[in-house]
A = this chain, B = another copy of it.
């Protein structure tokens, strides 16, 4: 497998996703990207352990066998290099029936990370490539489950007739008048940019009514590699609590590799519901139902 072919596949994914995000064509392209990325990484790179500063989590990175390039940190218990093309195909299509939560977390994490690792090791594409890819990945799965393609803009109401103003947003799923409407930001990591998710949730509440949109943040990980030898998680739980209290509440935050420091936020006010992304597949109908 050659590197350009992965780049070509990514370019094709972009076109297909913009055309019809929930389509079978996107499922097929994602599935091929997962398998091809993983096979290429296995071929050209070797594992190298990283010291973990996160209690209870082990991390490694991939390093080119010939060359200096290394990947982002990889969670050792979530990344499974033995995932088969058939399993990748099921995940890419959101077909998760009968898969236990822990295995589903592995399959989702491995699927999302394989292409990110390959991109780190090739240096192909720019810094945005893994972020855009992950946006398509999570957006595609949500679009399948909500059975509609999302919008990426909302109209801003304004009493003055001469103003025609719309706001670019993350994914917006308008499921209809008797259903929830969903605001879904997707980020590979959030850092200080996370405020955008809560701020846009606030703007939606202000424009269209408290609770009309349910905010669902999907993030990959908050790991940070330090000097090529160790890993830490960059977390801001105090700021998250303040945003949840004083901007607008997010209904769910899902992680593919859930940061340790965010888990306790579930259990004390303002009770931010932060869960592994596998949980989305068991509760998306609850999310779509507007009853509190």
Contacts and interface: CB of A to CB of B under 8 A. Distances in A.
A269 B199 CA distance: 20
A283 interface: no
Interface in A182-241: 192-193, 195-196, 198-200, 202-203, 205-207, 238-239, 241
Contacts of A159: 269
A167 B207 CA distance: 26
Interface in A46-90: none
B165 A238 contact: yes
A163 to B, nearest CB: 7
A99 interface: no
B160 A269 contact: yes
Contacts of A245: 156, 158, 206
Given A195-B195, A195-B196, A268-B160, A167 B238 contact: yes
Interface residues on A, range: 20 to 34
A203 B156 contact: no
Q: 4 nearest interchain CB pairs? A: A206-B246, A199-B199, A203-B246, A165-B238
Given A192-B196, A207-B246, A241 B156 contact: yes
B206 A195 contact: no
Contact of A203 (B205, B206, B247, B268): B247
Contacts of A203: 242-243, 246-247
A127 interface: no
A168 interface: yes
Nearest to A166: B238
Given A238-B156, A238-B167, A239-B168, A202 B247 contact: yes
Contacts of A202: 199, 202, 246-247
